[in-house]
């Protein structure tokens, strides 16, 4: 406890004696968007040469300058260090809560978006490529979990946004081509769009993967009796 209090005291003293303004060169190098995780962004910007951030709906987070490259973010309870090599990124200073684990937030290129940002902007091809890239790097990443994407599709359906549901289900079938459930969901989206031929094709695909898919059987029976 004494060690923790001493560390906090040193941090407070450093913040108090450090100018909060940043050089133009530092601003130019660090301003921009950083991947907090595969589908979430921290945006760094400056007001009167003082560093601010946008994160999780808060558009005006002021970071406290510790030294020329380090800043304390209260909302994260972390000291963030801007590192220029091998390319600009943010890393979290090591602390007891995550000792031995290094957290790096890569700076995004100009115009680069997350998978869901591309999707919401209806840039579906780029969204798919970004999802695939995440899957290739980390097949267990929560962002590309089959069930998570499927739930998102049904959220669109509940909101009667059938076009978005159709597109997110298409992405899921490409990410998980051996899943009966993804094709079953895509079949439902086509059904709601009144595209009978594609609905039937996807329900049949679902059954070819899993002949016991009861939902696909039910929909095919309904469609074939029309």
- Beta strand spans in the chain (E): 32-37, 40-47, 50-55, 58-62, 64-65, 70-73, 78-83, 89-92, 104-106
Domains and CATH numbers, the chain: 2-106 (no CATH), 145-224 (1.25.40.10)
Predicted confidence at residue 204, as pLDDT, reads: 97
Predicted confidence at residue 143, as pLDDT, reads: 94
Predicted confidence at residue 224, as pLDDT, reads: 83
Predicted confidence at residue 99, as pLDDT, reads: 87
Does position 180 have pLDDT exceeding 70, yes or no? Answer: yes
Q: What is the pLDDT of residues 16-69, one digit of tens each?
A: 556 678 899 999 999 999 999 999 999 999 999 999 999 999 999 999 999 999
**Separation of first and last alpha carbons in the chain:** 73
Q: What is the pTM of this model?
A: 0.86
The span from the CA of 141 to the CA of 129, in Å, is: 15
- Which contacts of 78-86 are long-range, i.e. CB under 8 A and separated by 24 or more positions? 79/11, 82/26, 82/29, 82/30, 84/29
Do the Cβ atoms of 175 and 135 come closer than 8 Å? Answer: yes
The residue whose two tokens read 């009167």 is 48
Does position 11 have pLDDT exceeding 80, yes or no? Answer: no
Predicted confidence at residue 1, as pLDDT, reads: 55
Backbone φ and ψ of 19, nearest 5°: -65, 135
The span from the CA of 127 to the CA of 207, in Å, is: 28
Q: What percent of the chain has pLDDT over 90?
A: 83
What's the whole-number average pLDDT of the chain?
92
Report CA Rg, the chain: 24
226: confidence class by pLDDT, cuts 50, 70, 90? low
Read off the tokens for 117: 């940002």
């Amino acid at each position: 406890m004494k060690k923790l209090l001493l560390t906090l005291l040193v941090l407070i003293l450093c913040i108090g004696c450090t100018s909060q303004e940043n050089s133009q060169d530092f601003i130019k190098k660090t301003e921009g968007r950083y991947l907090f995780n595969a589908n979430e962004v921290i945006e760094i910007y400056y007001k009167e040469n003082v560093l601010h951030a946008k994160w999780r709906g808060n558009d005006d987070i002021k970071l406290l300058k510790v030294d020329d490259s380090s800043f304390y973010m209260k909302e994260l309870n972390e000291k963030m260090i801007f590192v220029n090599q091998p390319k600009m990124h943010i890393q979290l200073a090591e602390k007891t809560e995550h000792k031995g684990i290094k957290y790096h937030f890569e700076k995004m290129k100009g115009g680069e978006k997350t998978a869901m940002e591309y999707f919401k902007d209806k840039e579906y091809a780029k969204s798919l490529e970004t999802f695939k890239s995440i899957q290739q790097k980390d097949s267990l990443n929560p962002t590309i979990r089959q069930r998570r994407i499927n739930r998102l599709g049904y959220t669109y359906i509940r909101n009667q946004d059938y076009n978005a549901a159709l597109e997110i289900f298409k992405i899921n079938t490409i990410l998980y081509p051996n899943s009966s459930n993804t094709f079953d969901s895509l079949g439902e989206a086509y059904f709601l769009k009144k595209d009978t031929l594609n609905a039937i094709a996807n329900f049949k695909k679902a059954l070819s993967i899993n002949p016991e898919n009861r939902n696909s059987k039910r929909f095919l029976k309904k469609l074939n009796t029309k």
